[in-house]
Amino acid sequence: MAPVAHADDFSIIAAEAAYGDIALQIAGPQADLTQIMRDPNANPHRFIADPALAKQVASADLVIQNGLGYDPWMTTLLAGSGDADRRVITVASLLHRKPGDNPHLWYDPAAVALLAQAIADELKTHDPDDDKALRNRLRLFLASLKPLQAKVSAMRSKWTGTPVAATEPVFGPMADALGLSMHGASFQAAVMAGTPPNAADAATLETELRQHQVRALIYNPQVTDAASQHLLDVARTAGIPVVTVRETRPRGKTYQDWMMGTLSALDHALSSGAS
């Protein structure tokens, strides 16, 4: 009988650092984990895989990817090599999302618990002897999400229908969970795709900022262009609160800390914009 693979010899590759942190919390600190897109200052949409990464993916036991075209390089690597026993968790599939949906799924509160359970299920299959410790880590992780869930619920009660704008759609799933009225979807989609936004869309957002028709501007510093930078300048000049959100988990912060900090900053900005 083949030896059972324990967490420290069961290799996990997470395409995104947010998912990597969740995997580490479920698998434990001794997990053999590789997080690919972990630079909080880089544009994830411009990431290019190299041959070294291809070798890592080929030998991995479990791969976690986002899907929805956000990490297409991982889909290519998975199709090109790998053991038949390798397992793949695609977060978009856990949420039953379809092409064209907002791909920034780590900002969707529903995704996190589903991913944690899926990771636990895979680890249990490969290390049944660790079942008790694994269940305990999963229980602690799910319990740690409760303050975050409470924050989302409280903010939704307070801010449902509040108009906001954004330079890029990274925060979209969380904005939906909060019940915010998001302006400028076409502008945001163009910035994400790296194409010039429509002039009319940009002009509309600029007018809304200058006339205080939106309560805050949500700004992604990792994905920018001249048009989004101009909106940022307009917002600051008009005195519209700016909330910085990122695509990549900041170094030294857990997923929970990162999300709670972002929500608290937004809550404060919306309160400031209301005065």
251-269 pLDDT per residue, tens = 999 999 999 999 999 999 9
Q: What proportion of the chain, given as a percentage, has pLDDT over 70?
A: 96
- 220 phi, psi to nearest 5 deg: -105, 105
Assigned superfamily of 7-144:
Nitrogenase molybdenum iron protein domain (3.40.50.1980)
pLDDT tens-digit map of 42-90: 999 889 999 899 999 999 999 999 999 999 999 999 998 777 789 999 9
pLDDT band for position 4 (cuts 50, 70, 90): very low
The pLDDT of residue 131 is: 84
pLDDT band for position 273 (cuts 50, 70, 90): low
The pLDDT of residue 83 is: 74
CA dist list (Å): 52 to 19, 77, 81, 187: 21, 11, 13, 36
> Of all helices (H) and strands (E), which one includes residue 242?
strand 242-244
The pLDDT of residue 186 is: 97
What is the Cβ-side half-sphere exposure of residue 151, based on CA atoms within 13 angstroms? Answer: 20
- 76 phi, psi to nearest 5 deg: -65, -45
What gap in Å lies between CA 26 and CA 238, rounded to an integer? 45
Write down the mean pLDDT value for the chain.
93
Q: What proportion of the chain, given as a percentage, has pLDDT over 90?
A: 84
DSSP string, 106-160: GG-HHHHHHHHHHHHHHHHHH-GGGHHHHHHHHHHHHHHTHHHHHHHHHHHHHHT
Q: Enumerate the CATH 3.40.50.1980 domain ranges in the chain, comma separated.
A: 7-144, 158-274
The pLDDT of residue 221 is: 96
The pLDDT of residue 94 is: 97
DSSP state of 7: G
Instruction: Find out if CATH 3.40.50.1980 is the number for domain 158-274.
Output: yes
What gap in Å lies between CA 55 and CA 50, rounded to an integer? 9
pLDDT tens-digit map of 153-203: 999 999 999 999 999 999 999 999 999 999 999 999 999 999 999 999 999
Amino acid occupying residue 177: A
- 161 phi, psi to nearest 5 deg: 85, -5
The pLDDT of residue 8 is: 57
The pLDDT of residue 126 is: 79
* Residue 80 token pair: 């090109």
* Residue 210 token pair: 């200058």
The pLDDT of residue 274 is: 61
Where would I find the H helices in the chain?
17-27, 51-59, 72-80, 91-94, 109-126, 131-144, 146-159, 172-178, 185-193, 199-210, 226-238, 255-274
pLDDT band for position 3 (cuts 50, 70, 90): very low
